[in-house]
Amino acid sequence: MEEREFIDRLKRFDAQAISWVVERYGVALHRYVAAIVGDAHLAEDIVAETYVRMLERIGDYRITGAPFRAWLYRIAHNLAINAVTRDRSTHDDLTLLRTEASYGNPAEVFEREETHAALRQALKTLTDEQQQVLLLRFVAQLPVAEVAQQLQRSEGAVKQLQFRALRALGRLLGEAEVGDG
C-alpha cells in the first residue's frame, strides 16, 4: 500500500490500517521504549499511549518525505522520556519487584539485571543524540538513513555519533569490568 493511501486510511480510523501499524511496529517499538525506561511493563503502557497519541494527532500528520515510522518513534520517544523524568524512584522499586518476580536461577536473574543496569548507567553518560542514535539503530533496528531523517542530521553525522557513542560505551564498560575485577 502506498504511504499516502495508508495515511488517509489512518485519518479515517480504518481498523485494518491501525491494526497494521500495531503489527508492523509493535515489537520494535516496545523494545525501543523498554530500552529507554528500563521496564517492560511500563514500556507496554507507553506503547499503548503512543498509539492513542498517534490516532489523536493523525489528522495533523503531513507527509514530508520522512517515513511514518520516524513520526511514530518520535511520539514514543517523547512519552518515554517524560515517563523516565517523571518518576525515577518508582522505576527503582519496579526494577526490584521485576527481579523478585522473575523466573529462573536468582543468581542469573541478578547478574542479568546488573548487566542491564550497568549498560543503562553507561548510556546515561552519553549525549542525548548519542543515546537516541544507539537506541534507534540497535534496539529499534532502523537504518542509518531513517535515523538521520528522524534526528534531522546527515547520514555521516549519524554514523559519527554512532561511532563515538560505541567507543565511549566500550571505554565505560571496560573500565567497570577492570574496576570490579
Distance separating alpha carbons of residues 111 and 91, to the nearest angstrom: 18
CA separation for the pair 141, 8 (Å, rounded) = 26
Q: What is the pTM of this model?
A: 0.66
CB 129 within 8 A of CB 179: no
Closest C-alpha among 126, 148, 125, 152 to residue 137:
148
Of 133, 140, 6, the C-alpha closest to 63 is: 6
Residue 60 has a CB neighbour count (10 Å cut-off) of 7
Q: What is the pLDDT of residue 112?
A: 63
Q: Which residues contact 66 (CB under 8 A, 6 or more apart)?
A: 149, 150
Helices in the chain by DSSP H: which ranges?
3-11, 15-37, 40-57, 68-86, 88-101, 106-124, 128-134, 144-151, 155-180
pLDDT score for 54? 93
Please give the pLDDT value at position 101.
47
List the grid coordinates of 133: 542514535
pLDDT at 108: 61
Going along the chain from its start, the domains and CATH numbers come out as 1-101 (1.10.1740.10), 107-181 (1.10.10.10)
Q: pLDDT tens digits for the chain (181 residues)?
A: 688 898 999 999 989 999 999 999 999 999 999 888 888 899 999 999 999 999 999 999 988 887 888 899 989 998 988 888 776 544 454 454 444 444 555 566 556 666 667 777 778 888 888 888 888 888 888 889 888 888 888 999 999 999 998 888 888 877 655 444 4
